[in-house]
Amino acid sequence: MTDYRAQFPVLVNEPDLVYLDTAATAQKPQAVVDAITRAYACDYATVHRGVYRRSQTMTEAYEEARATVARFINAASPAEVVFVRGATEGINLVAQSWAAANLGEGDEVVVTELEHHSNIVPWQLASEIAGFGLKVIPITPDGDIDYEAAARVIGPRTKLVAVTHISNVLGTLVDVKRIVALAKAVDARVLVDGCQAAPRQIVDVQDLGADFYVFSGHKLYGPTGIGVLWGRLDVLNAMRPYHGGGAMIETVTFERTTYLPAPQRFEAGTPHIVGALGLKAAIDYVTAIGLPAIRAHEAELTRQAIEALSRFNSVRVLGPGHHTGIVSFVMEGVHPHDIGTILDEAGINIRAGHHCAQPLMERLGVGSTARASFGIYNTPADVERLAEGMDKVVRIFR
């Protein structure tokens, strides 16, 4: 079996570290670090502007990164791939350029109780401008989507449904195609937050049938500050630009400006060139391993973690039990921050808090949770360390 830990400098430099916060941000493999270093140290130049060879070479590399993303999610064309700072900016772009511009009073955007704040707040901001309403699909008691309720919530006034692919809190795997079918029945568009799905399973945007799909590079073993908004080309080209500036225009006069087609119309200014190259390296890395292998690896670690945590009578694992690399839990009488602090003293990094999902916390009846999330570099030994750490927590608070 491949020793993936050896491919991650942080874990080589700190061999005793148990990093269980990949759902927040993944560690970076040497291949990504090398790609970023090479881009800055050897190849760097601006893109889409210079006529000199170095600039043209960098432009080709930048656009090849876009093509790599398109292949990774099976987009119909690289032109459907917009580089943004992250999934948050991608959702805000759609909220401002599509929802705020096309919707009004009487229209509705639908979200679910599973959503991250980044898939709630942008729609609220856009609704303040356009006047449309916001409706919510509830979850079942075990943390899955209530699909029967979804069929009632999504109706004639629904113009867009925004839904996570995998919950960052509960690991719930949403049946996106089922949601898309409900939305398309009323001629509504669908945006999918794929932050937790893109790093751990095959994403085929054409097969899903959604209109927009977003994900962040840093959760996919790539750099921060780079992400992807995929959209259907006809929809993107009908949207107003989100930012104005250089590189996204056809002509500019003081009276009128015309814009380039997608994706350039949404990439004003000098882009995060090296971030795009780092993202390409990350995609090449996970593709070489194989997303089905990554998914199977994380599913087994998730199963082991749920089993280990369930041995403690005072610990309750939340969620429907989908093995998607994310395990949230609470401990009777103990704040998740205390759990996180004690585990940190043992060299175990987990997340403790509301995970940018306060409405979901309220629905679950908890203020916050402890969360362990897995990546390709985690091993069964990490799960054993987590169990040992939780045993210490139990003994301290007994």
Q: What is the pLDDT of residues 266-299, one digit of tens each?
A: 999 999 999 999 999 999 999 999 999 999 999 9
pLDDT band at 13 (very low <50, low <70, confident <90, very high): very high
Span 128-153, average pLDDT: 98
Q: What pLDDT sits at residue 395? A: 95
Cα separations (Å) of 7 from 18, 114, 215, 289, 377? 15, 33, 23, 12, 8
Strand segments, DSSP code E, in 345-385 are: 348-349, 351-353, 369-373
> Region 228-233: what's the mean pLDDT?
98
Domain residue ranges of the chain, discontinuous segments joined by +: 32-287, 290-397
The answer to whether residue 356 is catalytic is yes
Residue pair 380/326 in contact (Cβ under 8 Å)? The answer is no
Tokens of 246: 């250089």
Give the number of other CB atoms < 10 A from CB of residue 369: 27
At 186 the pLDDT is 98
The pLDDT assigned to 300 comes to 98
Residue 153 banded pLDDT, cuts 50, 70, 90: very high
Mean pLDDT of 310-319: 96
Q: What is the pLDDT of residue 49?
A: 84
Chain centroid, CA 158 distance in Å: 24
pLDDT in tens, 81-91: 999 999 999 99
- Residue 251 has a CB neighbour count (10 Å cut-off) of 8
- Residue 152 burial class via C-beta count within 10 angstroms: exposed 0-12, middle 13-18, buried 19 and up: exposed
Quick one: pLDDT band at residue 398, thresholds 50, 70, 90?
Answer: confident
Residues above pLDDT 70, as percent of the chain? 100
At 1 the pLDDT is: 64
Question: Which H/E stretch holds residue 288?
Answer: helix 273-289
DSSP string, 321-355: ---SSEEEEEETTB-HHHHHHHHHHTTEE-EEE-T
Spell out the residues 6+ positions from residue 76 whose beta carbon is closer than 8 angstroms to its own.
206, 233
Structure tokens at 31: 């291949």
**Tokens matching residue 215:** 């994900």
C-alpha distance from residue 240 to each of 89, 189, 259, 350 (Å) = 15, 17, 9, 41
DSSP string, 119-134: GTHHHHHHHHHH--EE
Q: Exactly one of 67, 235, 346, 356 is catalytic; which is it?
A: 356
Average pLDDT over all residues of the chain: 97
Mean pLDDT across 179-185: 98
Q: Is the pTM of this model over 0.85?
A: yes
Mean pLDDT along residues 219-237 = 98
| Closest by CA position to 46, among listed 242, 269, 224 | 269
pLDDT digits (tens, 9 = 90+) for 115-125: 999 999 999 99
**Superfamily classification of domain 290-397:** Aspartate Aminotransferase, domain 1 (3.90.1150.10)
Max CA pair span of the chain: 73
Does domain 32-287 correspond to CATH entry 3.40.50.720?
no
